[in-house]
Amino acid sequence: MEHQLKTYIRNMQTSVDQTGRVVNVDDSPHRIISLVPSQSELLYDLGLTTEVIGITKFCIHPQEWFRTKQHVGGTKKLNLELIRSLNPDLIIANKEENEQLQIEELAKEFPVWISDISTYSDAKRMVLALGTITNRYFEAIRVLDKIDQAFDALPVNEEQRKILSVAYLIWDKPMMAAGGNTFINGMLESCGLTNVFSHLPRYPEISSEQLMSAKPDLLFLSSEPFPFSEKHLKDFSNRYPGIKALCVDGELFSWYGSRLQYLPAYICKLFEQIESVK
pLDDT digits (tens, 9 = 90+) for 190-247: 888 899 999 998 999 999 999 999 999 999 999 999 999 988 998 998 888 888 999 9
Is 156-276 in the same CATH topology as 2-151?
yes
Instruction: Output the pLDDT for position 156.
Output: 61
Enumerate the domain spans of the chain: 2-151, 156-276
The pLDDT assigned to 158 comes to 52
Q: Which amino acid is at 233?
A: L
Confidence (pLDDT) at 12: 76
Q: In this predicted structure, what is the pLDDT of residue 268?
A: 87
pLDDT value at position 277? 56
At 147 the pLDDT is 95
Reply yes or no on domain 156-276 having CATH 3.40.50.1980: yes
3-state helix, strand, coil in the chain (%, to 5): 45, 20, 35
For 212-216, which contacts have Cβ atoms below 8 Å and span 24 or more sequence positions? 212/240, 214/165, 214/167, 215/165, 215/242, 216/165, 216/166, 216/167, 216/243
Domain 2-151 in this protein, CATH class: alpha beta
Residues of the chain with pLDDT under 70: 1-11, 156-163, 276-278
pLDDT at 91: 98
What is the end-to-end Cα distance of the chain in Å, rounded? 74
